[in-house]
Protein backbone atom coordinates (compact mmCIF):
# COMPACT_ATOMS: atom_id res chain seq x y z
CA UNK A 1 0.00 0.00 0.00
CA UNK A 2 1.38 3.42 -0.88
CA UNK A 3 1.49 6.21 1.69
CA UNK A 4 -1.43 8.10 0.14
CA UNK A 5 -3.73 5.10 0.47
CA UNK A 6 -2.40 4.42 3.96
CA UNK A 7 -3.05 8.03 4.98
CA UNK A 8 -6.64 7.77 3.77
CA UNK A 9 -7.24 5.06 6.39
CA UNK A 10 -6.78 7.65 9.17
CA UNK A 11 -7.42 11.03 7.58
CA UNK A 12 -9.62 12.65 4.96
CA UNK A 13 -7.33 13.72 2.12
CA UNK A 14 -8.05 17.09 0.50
CA UNK A 15 -6.46 18.49 -2.68
CA UNK A 16 -5.01 22.01 -2.27
CA UNK A 17 -5.17 23.37 -5.80
CA UNK A 18 -7.08 25.34 -8.40
CA UNK A 19 -5.76 22.95 -11.06
CA UNK A 20 -8.81 20.70 -11.18
CA UNK A 21 -7.46 18.59 -14.06
CA UNK A 22 -4.83 17.23 -11.64
CA UNK A 23 -7.29 16.27 -8.95
CA UNK A 24 -8.95 13.08 -10.19
CA UNK A 25 -5.82 10.90 -10.17
CA UNK A 26 -5.43 11.29 -6.38
CA UNK A 27 -9.09 10.69 -5.50
CA UNK A 28 -9.34 13.25 -2.66
CA UNK A 29 -12.70 13.75 -0.96
CA UNK A 30 -12.54 17.57 -0.78
CA UNK A 31 -10.57 20.39 -2.38
CA UNK A 32 -9.43 23.83 -1.25
CA UNK A 33 -8.62 26.94 -3.26
CA UNK A 34 -7.34 30.42 -2.51
CA UNK A 35 -6.66 33.56 -4.60
CA UNK A 36 -3.03 32.59 -5.15
CA UNK A 37 -3.97 29.16 -6.51
CA UNK A 38 -6.67 30.59 -8.79
CA UNK A 39 -4.27 33.28 -10.06
CA UNK A 40 -1.75 30.57 -10.89
CA UNK A 41 -4.39 28.46 -12.64
CA UNK A 42 -5.91 31.18 -14.86
CA UNK A 43 -2.47 31.91 -16.32
CA UNK A 44 -2.28 28.36 -17.72
CA UNK A 45 -3.60 27.91 -21.27
CA UNK A 46 -5.99 25.11 -20.26
CA UNK A 47 -7.74 27.33 -17.71
CA UNK A 48 -7.63 30.72 -19.44
CA UNK A 49 -11.03 30.08 -21.10
CA UNK A 50 -12.73 30.09 -17.70
CA UNK A 51 -11.60 33.67 -17.17
CA UNK A 52 -12.53 34.65 -20.72
CA UNK A 53 -15.98 33.10 -20.43
CA UNK A 54 -16.65 34.71 -17.06
CA UNK A 55 -15.66 38.12 -18.39
CA UNK A 56 -17.76 37.73 -21.54
CA UNK A 57 -20.86 36.98 -19.46
CA UNK A 58 -20.36 39.25 -16.47
CA UNK A 59 -17.55 41.66 -17.32
CA UNK A 60 -19.79 44.74 -17.00
CA UNK A 61 -20.75 43.89 -13.41
CA UNK A 62 -19.09 45.11 -10.23
CA UNK A 63 -15.50 43.82 -10.11
CA UNK A 64 -16.07 42.08 -6.78
CA UNK A 65 -19.02 40.18 -8.20
CA UNK A 66 -17.03 39.17 -11.29
CA UNK A 67 -14.28 37.87 -8.98
CA UNK A 68 -16.76 35.80 -6.98
CA UNK A 69 -18.24 34.40 -10.19
CA UNK A 70 -14.77 33.35 -11.37
CA UNK A 71 -14.05 31.65 -8.04
CA UNK A 72 -17.41 29.88 -8.16
CA UNK A 73 -16.77 28.79 -11.75
CA UNK A 74 -13.54 27.12 -10.63
CA UNK A 75 -15.32 25.65 -7.63
CA UNK A 76 -18.05 24.13 -9.78
CA UNK A 77 -15.46 22.57 -12.08
CA UNK A 78 -13.61 21.14 -9.08
CA UNK A 79 -16.82 19.66 -7.68
CA UNK A 80 -17.23 17.55 -10.82
CA UNK A 81 -14.00 15.76 -9.87
CA UNK A 82 -14.58 15.15 -6.14
CA UNK A 83 -17.41 13.67 -4.04
CA UNK A 84 -17.13 16.18 -1.19
CA UNK A 85 -16.71 19.90 -0.56
CA UNK A 86 -14.81 22.78 -2.11
CA UNK A 87 -13.53 25.76 -0.12
CA UNK A 88 -13.92 29.19 -1.76
CA UNK A 89 -12.27 32.22 -0.20
CA UNK A 90 -13.73 35.60 0.68
CA UNK A 91 -11.66 38.61 -0.46
CA UNK A 92 -8.82 38.95 2.07
CA UNK A 93 -9.22 42.73 2.01
CA UNK A 94 -12.43 42.21 4.00
CA UNK A 95 -10.61 40.39 6.81
CA UNK A 96 -11.36 43.12 9.36
CA UNK A 97 -14.96 43.81 8.30
CA UNK A 98 -17.42 41.35 9.82
CA UNK A 99 -20.55 42.49 8.01
CA UNK A 100 -18.85 42.74 4.60
CA UNK A 101 -17.44 39.24 5.06
CA UNK A 102 -20.90 37.88 5.92
CA UNK A 103 -22.39 39.56 2.85
CA UNK A 104 -19.65 38.20 0.57
CA UNK A 105 -20.05 34.70 1.99
CA UNK A 106 -23.79 34.84 1.41
CA UNK A 107 -23.27 35.94 -2.19
CA UNK A 108 -20.80 33.16 -2.91
CA UNK A 109 -23.28 30.59 -1.61
CA UNK A 110 -26.08 32.13 -3.69
CA UNK A 111 -23.90 31.89 -6.81
CA UNK A 112 -23.20 28.22 -6.12
CA UNK A 113 -26.87 27.52 -5.51
CA UNK A 114 -27.73 29.21 -8.81
CA UNK A 115 -25.46 26.62 -10.45
CA UNK A 116 -27.32 23.79 -8.70
CA UNK A 117 -24.65 23.14 -6.04
CA UNK A 118 -25.99 22.14 -2.62
CA UNK A 119 -25.00 24.39 0.27
CA UNK A 120 -23.34 21.50 2.11
CA UNK A 121 -20.79 21.06 -0.70
CA UNK A 122 -19.24 24.49 -0.15
CA UNK A 123 -17.09 25.92 2.65
CA UNK A 124 -16.69 29.69 2.76
CA UNK A 125 -13.03 30.35 3.49
CA UNK A 126 -12.33 33.30 5.82
CA UNK A 127 -9.16 34.64 7.44
CA UNK A 128 -8.96 33.87 11.18
CA UNK A 129 -9.02 37.46 12.41
CA UNK A 130 -11.37 38.23 15.31
CA UNK A 131 -13.72 39.91 12.82
CA UNK A 132 -13.49 36.96 10.44
CA UNK A 133 -14.29 34.49 13.21
CA UNK A 134 -17.35 36.50 14.22
CA UNK A 135 -18.48 36.58 10.58
CA UNK A 136 -18.06 32.82 10.42
CA UNK A 137 -20.19 32.42 13.54
CA UNK A 138 -22.99 34.40 11.86
CA UNK A 139 -22.74 32.38 8.66
CA UNK A 140 -22.78 29.08 10.55
CA UNK A 141 -26.00 30.13 12.29
CA UNK A 142 -27.48 30.65 8.81
CA UNK A 143 -26.48 27.14 7.76
CA UNK A 144 -23.51 28.34 5.69
CA UNK A 145 -20.42 26.33 6.62
CA UNK A 146 -17.00 27.92 6.92
CA UNK A 147 -13.30 27.13 6.71
CA UNK A 148 -11.18 29.48 8.85
CA UNK A 149 -7.84 29.94 7.15
CA UNK A 150 -4.54 31.74 7.86
CA UNK A 151 -4.59 30.13 11.28
CA UNK A 152 -1.24 30.12 13.07
CA UNK A 153 -1.93 30.70 16.74
CA UNK A 154 -3.61 28.56 19.40
CA UNK A 155 -5.88 31.46 20.39
CA UNK A 156 -7.24 31.60 16.83
CA UNK A 157 -8.16 27.91 17.02
CA UNK A 158 -9.83 28.31 20.42
CA UNK A 159 -11.91 31.26 19.20
CA UNK A 160 -12.94 29.29 16.10
CA UNK A 161 -14.08 26.43 18.31
CA UNK A 162 -16.11 28.84 20.43
CA UNK A 163 -17.70 30.19 17.23
CA UNK A 164 -18.66 26.63 16.21
CA UNK A 165 -17.13 26.97 12.76
CA UNK A 166 -17.18 23.88 10.59
CA UNK A 167 -13.45 23.61 9.93
CA UNK A 168 -10.11 25.29 10.57
CA UNK A 169 -6.93 25.24 8.46
CA UNK A 170 -3.80 25.62 10.63
CA UNK A 171 -0.84 26.39 8.36
CA UNK A 172 1.91 23.90 9.17
CA UNK A 173 4.48 24.97 6.58
CA UNK A 174 4.27 28.70 7.22
CA UNK A 175 4.78 28.15 10.95
CA UNK A 176 7.82 26.03 10.11
CA UNK A 177 9.07 28.79 7.78
CA UNK A 178 8.88 31.40 10.54
CA UNK A 179 10.79 29.39 13.11
CA UNK A 180 13.40 28.34 10.59
CA UNK A 181 13.96 31.95 9.55
CA UNK A 182 14.19 33.08 13.18
CA UNK A 183 16.76 30.41 13.99
CA UNK A 184 18.94 31.28 11.01
CA UNK A 185 22.22 29.38 10.92
CA UNK A 186 21.41 27.59 14.19
CA UNK A 187 18.42 25.76 12.68
CA UNK A 188 18.87 21.97 12.86
CA UNK A 189 16.62 20.48 10.18
CA UNK A 190 16.95 16.90 11.39
CA UNK A 191 16.29 17.80 15.02
CA UNK A 192 13.19 19.86 14.10
CA UNK A 193 11.66 17.32 11.74
CA UNK A 194 8.55 15.17 12.15
CA UNK A 195 6.96 15.43 15.59
CA UNK A 196 9.54 18.10 16.54
CA UNK A 197 8.49 20.38 13.69
CA UNK A 198 6.92 23.54 15.20
CA UNK A 199 4.12 23.52 12.62
CA UNK A 200 3.30 19.89 13.41
CA UNK A 201 3.35 20.65 17.14
CA UNK A 202 0.91 23.52 16.64
CA UNK A 203 -1.64 21.30 14.89
CA UNK A 204 -1.15 18.54 17.44
CA UNK A 205 -1.91 20.99 20.28
CA UNK A 206 -5.07 22.23 18.58
CA UNK A 207 -6.24 18.70 17.72
CA UNK A 208 -5.73 17.50 21.30
CA UNK A 209 -7.54 20.54 22.71
CA UNK A 210 -10.54 20.02 20.43
CA UNK A 211 -10.83 16.30 21.09
CA UNK A 212 -10.31 16.65 24.84
CA UNK A 213 -13.07 19.23 25.18
CA UNK A 214 -15.52 17.79 22.67
CA UNK A 215 -15.22 20.64 20.15
CA UNK A 216 -16.85 19.52 16.90
CA UNK A 217 -14.88 21.86 14.59
CA UNK A 218 -12.83 19.84 12.10
CA UNK A 219 -9.05 20.27 12.07
CA UNK A 220 -7.44 20.32 8.63
CA UNK A 221 -3.67 20.72 8.54
CA UNK A 222 -2.55 22.85 5.57
CA UNK A 223 0.48 24.41 3.87
CA UNK A 224 2.97 21.56 3.91
CA UNK A 225 6.63 21.78 2.97
CA UNK A 226 7.59 18.09 3.06
CA UNK A 227 6.22 14.57 3.51
CA UNK A 228 7.48 14.37 7.08
CA UNK A 229 5.04 17.08 8.16
CA UNK A 230 2.17 15.16 6.57
CA UNK A 231 3.03 11.74 7.97
CA UNK A 232 3.56 13.22 11.45
CA UNK A 233 -0.08 14.37 11.35
CA UNK A 234 -1.65 11.11 10.12
CA UNK A 235 -4.90 10.80 12.03
CA UNK A 236 -5.75 14.50 11.87
CA UNK A 237 -9.36 14.99 10.76
CA UNK A 238 -8.30 16.26 7.34
CA UNK A 239 -5.08 17.28 5.58
CA UNK A 240 -5.10 19.52 2.50
CA UNK A 241 -2.13 18.71 0.31
CA UNK A 242 -0.72 20.19 -2.90
CA UNK A 243 -0.58 17.93 -5.98
CA UNK A 244 3.22 17.56 -5.95
CA UNK A 245 3.15 16.19 -2.40
CA UNK A 246 0.14 13.99 -3.17
CA UNK A 247 2.22 12.51 -5.98
CA UNK A 248 5.14 11.88 -3.62
CA UNK A 249 2.82 10.12 -1.15
CA UNK A 250 1.41 7.98 -3.95
CA UNK A 251 4.93 7.04 -5.05
CA UNK A 252 6.12 6.00 -1.58
CA UNK A 253 5.54 2.65 0.09
CA UNK A 254 7.28 3.57 3.34
CA UNK A 255 5.35 2.54 6.47
CA UNK A 256 2.81 5.05 7.78
CA UNK A 257 1.12 4.84 11.17
CA UNK A 258 -1.49 6.92 12.97
CA UNK A 259 0.14 9.83 14.80
CA UNK A 260 -2.92 11.69 16.17
CA UNK A 261 -5.69 9.86 17.99
CA UNK A 262 -8.89 11.32 19.47
CA UNK A 263 -9.15 8.64 22.16
CA UNK A 264 -5.62 9.35 23.39
CA UNK A 265 -6.31 13.09 23.38
CA UNK A 266 -9.34 12.61 25.60
CA UNK A 267 -7.08 11.14 28.30
CA UNK A 268 -4.83 14.20 28.44
CA UNK A 269 -4.95 16.69 31.32
CA UNK A 270 -5.81 19.84 29.38
CA UNK A 271 -7.66 22.77 30.93
CA UNK A 272 -10.47 24.45 28.97
CA UNK A 273 -9.63 27.84 27.43
CA UNK A 274 -11.89 30.69 26.31
CA UNK A 275 -11.34 34.12 24.78
CA UNK A 276 -13.32 37.31 24.49
CA UNK A 277 -12.37 40.17 22.17
CA UNK A 278 -9.78 41.74 24.48
CA UNK A 279 -8.13 38.51 25.63
CA UNK A 280 -8.00 37.17 22.06
CA UNK A 281 -6.32 40.31 20.78
CA UNK A 282 -3.78 40.22 23.58
CA UNK A 283 -3.03 36.51 23.10
CA UNK A 284 -2.51 36.97 19.37
CA UNK A 285 -0.37 40.05 19.98
CA UNK A 286 1.70 38.03 22.44
CA UNK A 287 2.41 35.43 19.73
CA UNK A 288 4.91 37.08 17.38
CA UNK A 289 4.78 34.22 14.90
CA UNK A 290 0.97 34.20 14.76
CA UNK A 291 0.72 37.97 14.43
CA UNK A 292 3.35 38.23 11.71
CA UNK A 293 2.18 35.27 9.63
CA UNK A 294 -1.48 36.31 9.79
CA UNK A 295 -0.64 39.82 8.58
CA UNK A 296 1.71 38.47 5.91
CA UNK A 297 -0.89 35.98 4.69
CA UNK A 298 -3.62 38.58 4.39
CA UNK A 299 -1.27 40.88 2.47
CA UNK A 300 -0.25 38.08 0.10
CA UNK A 301 -3.82 36.96 -0.65
CA UNK A 302 -4.91 40.59 -1.09
CA UNK A 303 -2.03 41.18 -3.52
CA UNK A 304 -2.96 38.13 -5.60
CA UNK A 305 -6.62 39.18 -5.61
CA UNK A 306 -5.50 42.56 -6.97
CA UNK A 307 -3.47 40.77 -9.68
CA UNK A 308 -6.54 38.74 -10.63
CA UNK A 309 -8.56 41.94 -10.85
CA UNK A 310 -5.87 43.44 -13.08
CA UNK A 311 -6.17 40.46 -15.44
CA UNK A 312 -9.92 41.04 -15.55
CA UNK A 313 -9.45 44.65 -16.63
CA UNK A 314 -7.20 43.83 -19.59
C-alpha span between 20 and 8 (Å, rounded): 20
pTM of the model: 0.96
Q: For position 129, which CATH number holds? A: 3.20.20.70
C-alpha span between 217 and 229 (Å, rounded): 21
pLDDT for position 312: 87
- Domain span at residue 247? 3-313
278 burial (CB, 10 Å; 0-12 / 13-18 / 19+) is exposed
User: How many domains, the chain?
Assistant: 1
State CA 43 to chain mean position distance.
22
228 burial (CB, 10 Å; 0-12 / 13-18 / 19+) is middle
Give the DSSP per-residue string, 198-212.
Answer: HHHHHHHHHHHHHHH
C-alpha span between 269 and 282 (Å, rounded): 25
In angstroms, the Cα distances linking 166 to 45, 87, 138, 141, 218 are 35, 11, 12, 11, 6
Instruction: Name the residue among 30, 52, 48 with its Cα closest to residue 39.
Output: 48
Q: Which regions of 90-237 does DSSP assign to beta strands (E)? A: 122-127, 146-151, 167-170, 218-221
pLDDT for position 24: 86
In angstroms, the Cα distances linking 282 to 160, 235, 278, 290 are 16, 32, 6, 12
pLDDT for position 313: 83
pLDDT for position 196: 98
Which residues participate in catalysis according to the annotation? 125
C-alpha span between 106 and 118 (Å, rounded): 14
- Which stretches of the chain drop beneath a pLDDT of 70? 314
pLDDT for position 22: 87
In the chain, the largest separation of any two C-alpha atoms, in whole Å, equals 58
At 232, phi and psi to the nearest 5? Answer: -70, -10
Instruction: Name the residue among 87, 58, 251 with its Cα closest to residue 169.
Output: 87
pLDDT for position 314: 65
Amino acid sequence: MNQLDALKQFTTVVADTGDFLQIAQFKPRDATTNPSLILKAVQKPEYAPLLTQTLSRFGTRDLGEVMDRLLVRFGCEILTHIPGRVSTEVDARLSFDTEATVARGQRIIELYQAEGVHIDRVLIKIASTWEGIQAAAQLERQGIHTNLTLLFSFCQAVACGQAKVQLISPFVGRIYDWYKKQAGASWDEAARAGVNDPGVQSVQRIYNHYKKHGIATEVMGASFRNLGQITALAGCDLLTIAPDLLAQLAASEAPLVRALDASAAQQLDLLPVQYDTASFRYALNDDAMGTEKLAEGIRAFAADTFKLETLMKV
